[in-house]
Structure 1
Amino acid sequence: MHTTVVSFTLHRGKERPKGEPEYHVWQGTSQEFGEIRVRYPVPPHMPQARMADVRGGFLPTATFESRGVHMDELTKPTLNGATLRVGDAVVYMKRNRWAVTNRGRALHLKYLGDRYRLRAINRKDYTLTREPDAQDPGVVVIVKQSGIGRRRQLSVSVQGRALPADIALATLFAGVDRSVLTRRGAVRAGLARVFHVAAESAAT
């Protein structure tokens, strides 16, 4: 069902379940979709893997998992070696790693019959757009971060009438490393991988 969504806020926190490693959360309440909770990295922690998920309210559960040798040193899953699911459905992803603009570097998604585009506004903020089709004018979800430390929060606003999957996907990416969606972030990520490989080589 398409719904007009009042803007809402997700607040940053940390939790440590008994016997499990600590993980981060973004959580808050949407007037239309109820409590929303994003977690990363989702326990239990597996070797060479990191996962984020979003649950709660009237949203479908969505998960984003990355696998690779680089993951053991990271908190968030990355766009490399990733699998995205909404419910039991796989969401197909592609992006142009060589594009020079944020628009060109956007992550393109296909979920069921809908096409989406995740684009970085800057290092902290991003938009998720569901593209229009013959029956639907589409929607844009804007996610912006403010504050520092424990006072960090995400403001989520929606232009158009949203589906539950739109909100699930948009909020899920708060728990994903999106740095490669900007050219500068991609350079930093590449240098970090080079130094990590060099450090491992030196240790052996």
Structure 2
Amino acid sequence: MMQQTYTLDHWEDRSGHRLTWKFGYRGVAGAFGRIEVVYPAGRHGDRHVTEVRGDGIPVVSFTGWAYGRKPSLYMAQLSVGSDGIRVKRNRWAQTRAGRALRMQVAGREYRYLATGRRHHDRALLRDGVEIRTGRRGRGARKKATFTVVGQADAHDIALAAVMVGVNTRNLTRGGAVRAFFNRSLNWLDIFN
């Protein structure tokens, strides 16, 4: 089975007011050309948007409740081009496979799930294609890697890339517990 690996480098734009700062990853992904992931590409109240654009891929955006600089899976909305895509997940499932994010894009079923205990290792799956994503490094040396197994197309690459700019820690039980306590403490801070 065919396997390829692409690497995107982390970038930051901290010009202007801190609410206008942008972060993300950019690089070249073989035949798919240049890819750029931007977060937050937009803000709508308490919701952030991550967007991916590139030479040979469709524009994909993910909107969710703000968690740091990235959108979270809470109140998630996904758009591929001008099409709104329904995103589903079972937040009460006990296994990583059960907690996977499910979506249907271009007539194909996708699952995005945690492959490790930490929130750095994920995989986007559909029939015949697996894209394993990972984030490594700190600061200027931070990178996102995509290992593609199978015949991936532009939609597959774009979906995997946009998810790198989304806070997906709720795909593991431990991450969901940490996120719950963090939200609770932030909520209690409102009253101080």
Indicate whether 1:120 and 2:120 are aligned: no
Q: Greater CA deviation, 164-173 or 154-163? A: 154-163
Rounded Cα–Cα distance in structure 2 between residues aligned with 1:152 and 1:83: 27
Give the 3-state SS of the residue equivalent to 2:186 in structure 1: helix
1:178 aligned residue: 168
2:51 to 41, 53, 74: 53
Gaps of 5+ in 2: none
Contact 2:4–2:149 (CA<8 Å) still a contact in 1?
no
Indicate whether 1:81 and 2:71 are aligned: no
CA RMSD of aligned residues (A): 1.7
Q: Please report the TM-score for the alignment, with normalisation by the length of structure 2.
A: 0.91
2:178 aligned residue: 188
Q: Which structure has the larger Rg over C-alpha atoms?
A: 1
1:146 aligned residue: 136
Seen in structure 2, the aligned counterparts of structure 1 residues 156 and 197 have a Cα distance that, compared at 3 Å, is: same
CA apart distance, 1:17: 5.6
**Residues 117-168 of structure 1 deviation map (CA, whole Å, 9 limit, x = unaligned):** 00111220100001x2xxxxx2101112222222111111111101100000
Give the 3-state SS of the residue equivalent to 1:170 in structure 2: helix
Aligned positions of 1:59-98 closer than 5 A: 59-67=57-65, 71=66, 74-98=68-92
Rounded Cα–Cα distance in structure 2 between residues aligned with 1:86 and 1:75: 21
Seen in structure 2, the aligned counterparts of structure 1 residues 5 and 18 have a Cα distance that, compared at 3 Å, is: farther
Rounded Cα–Cα distance in structure 2 between residues aligned with 1:29 and 1:198: 44
Give the 3-state SS of the residue equivalent to 1:108 in structure 2: strand
> Percentage identity across aligned positions?
34
Give the 3-state SS of the residue equivalent to 1:169 in structure 2: helix
CA apart distance, 1:112: 3.0
Amino acid across the alignment from 1:25:
G
Amino acid across the alignment from 1:24:
F
Rounded Cα–Cα distance in structure 2 between residues aligned with 1:148 and 1:157: 20
Indicate whether 1:108 and 2:93 are aligned: no
1:23 aligned residue: 22
Amino acid across the alignment from 2:29:
S
Q: Please report the TM-score for the alignment, with normalisation by the length of structure 1.
A: 0.86
Seen in structure 2, the aligned counterparts of structure 1 residues 37 and 103 have a Cα distance that, compared at 3 Å, is: same
Rounded Cα–Cα distance in structure 1 between residues aligned with 2:170 and 2:57: 27
Amino acid across the alignment from 2:111:
R
Contact 2:64–2:71 (CA<8 Å) still a contact in 1?
yes
Rounded Cα–Cα distance in structure 1 between residues aligned with 2:123 and 2:63: 20
Rounded Cα–Cα distance in structure 2 between residues aligned with 1:155 and 1:49: 26
Rounded Cα–Cα distance in structure 1 between residues aligned with 2:136 and 2:33: 22
Gaps of 5+ in 1: 133-137
